[in-house]
């Protein structure tokens, strides 16, 4: 299990990303901001997709200032979006698709261990924000990702989709079936809701490879990562959900958990390290879940390896989006 002693992938390890374009959901704070910072300092163009608040502009300004001070030539741009509103997710995809290329997708935004709520689309917040909106974004951005893969300056395996999962997927209920919307749209314990959504992240990654990327020759890679036990603003959700106990957890997080910049290293490694695509179409990291840079694959639960369960989640996701008026094509 990844912890404070996890292997490191400092910013100095990132290859030069000049000319590359990346999108980071939840890139205005916490892990996402430091993912975006690392990419920009490695000279990438970074699109920060985050809620419409002051943090997005502030994050882009802070990142661009750091880039300037380091005399790099990356750049961050803030794209406001509410992942709890599918019409805004569609508009975000349309904006990103105006780019000439898209090399890296970081599906990082999410609701933490926080109370149940409904989105603007009438869907459970953990289900939509942590999974379904990223499922939909992937579908809408795949044509641009495929176009990027075919560029002469792009090496095989360099285009990647990285989803922020969690070791908390181990806490998902054993009776999860993903057979109907009612199952994933109901209220429940905040930790269970979060854990189930992190299980979704891993299953989606594996099914995306099985259904879409492997038949296309594995030219695009997809991985799910655990950032480690990290102190971020997500602990505020636990405080709201569990009261005094959550307050204790938040205080402990500040003292003992990883800082967000260190937590970002798992995602940055998965997205940029050359060894991730070694072995070509037979890379052990294609569709894998890893808990740290240079991590071992296959450590997820048997439930997270269940192909039948992954298929059911995919079918349910497609149906839900279609019923909401947002059909997918992948």
Q: How far apart are CA 328 and CA 212, in angstroms?
A: 13
For residue 321, give the 3-state DSSP assignment: helix
Instruction: Decide if 194 is catalytic.
Output: yes
**b/e code 271-284 from CB counts within 10 Å (16+ = b):** bbbeebbeeeeebe
Determine contact, residues 116/192, Cβ cutoff 8 Å: no
> Which burial class, exposed, middle or buried, applies to 308 when counting CB atoms under 10 A from its CB (0-12, 13-18, 19+)?
exposed
> Judging by beta carbons within 10 Å of its beta carbon (0-12, 13-18, 19+), is residue 92 exposed, middle or buried?
buried
Beta strands across the sheet bearing 159-164: 75-80, 45-50, 21-25, 104-107, 159-164, 220-225, 289-290
181: Cβ contacts below 8 Å, ≥ 6 apart: 316, 319, 320
Tokens coding 238: 């636990």
Tokens of 132: 């379904």
Marked catalytic residue, from 194, 242, 289, 326 = 194
CA distance 126 to 119: 9
Q: Active-site residue 324, yes or no?
A: no
Q: How many CB atoms lie within 10 A of CB 320?
A: 22
Three-state SS for 162? Answer: strand
Q: Please, is 26 exposed, middle or buried when counting C-beta atoms within 10 Å of its C-beta (0-12, 13-18, 19+)?
A: buried
From the list 20, 45, 198, 206, the catalytic residue is 198
Annotated active-site positions, please?
Answer: 194, 198
């Amino acid at each position: 299990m990844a912890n404070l002693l996890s292997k490191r992938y400092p910013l100095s390890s990132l290859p030069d990303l000049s000319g590359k374009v990346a999108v980071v959901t939840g890139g205005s704070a916490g892990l996402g901001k430091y993912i975006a910072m690392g990419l920009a300092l490695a000279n990438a163009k970074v699109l920060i997709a985050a809620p419409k608040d002051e943090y997005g502009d502030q994050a882009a300004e802070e990142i661009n200032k750091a880039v300037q001070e380091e005399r790099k030539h990356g750049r961050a741009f803030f794209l406001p979006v509410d992942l709890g509103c599918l019409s805004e997710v569609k508009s975000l995809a349309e904006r990103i698709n105006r780019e000439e290329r898209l090399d890296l997708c970081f599906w990082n935004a999410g609701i933490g261990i926080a109370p149940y709520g409904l989105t603007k689309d009438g869907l459970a917040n953990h289900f939509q924000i942590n999974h379904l909106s990223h499922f939909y974004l992937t579908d809408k951005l795949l044509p641009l990702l495929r176009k990027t893969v075919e560029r002469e300056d792009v090496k095989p395996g360099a285009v990647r989709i990285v989803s922020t999962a969690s070791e908390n997927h181990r806490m998902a209920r054993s009776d999860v079936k993903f057979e109907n919307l009612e199952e994933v749209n109901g209220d429940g314990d905040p930790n269970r809701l979060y854990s189930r959504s992190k299980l979704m992240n891993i299953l989606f990654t594996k099914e995306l490879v099985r259904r879409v990327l492997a038949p296309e020759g594995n030219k695009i890679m997809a991985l799910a990562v655990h950032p480690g036990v990290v102190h971020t603003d997500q602990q505020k959700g636990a405080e709201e959900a569990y009261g005094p106990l959550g307050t204790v957890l938040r205080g402990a997080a500040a003292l003992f958990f990883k800082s967000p910049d260190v937590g970002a290293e798992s995602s940055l490694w998965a997205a940029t390290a050359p060894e991730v695509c070694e072995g070509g179409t037979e890379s052990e990291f294609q569709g894998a879940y890893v808990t740290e840079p240079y991590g071992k694959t296959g450590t997820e639960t048997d439930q997270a390896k269940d192909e039948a369960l992954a298929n059911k989640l995919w079918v349910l996701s497609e149906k839900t989006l279609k019923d909401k008026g947002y059909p997918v094509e992948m």
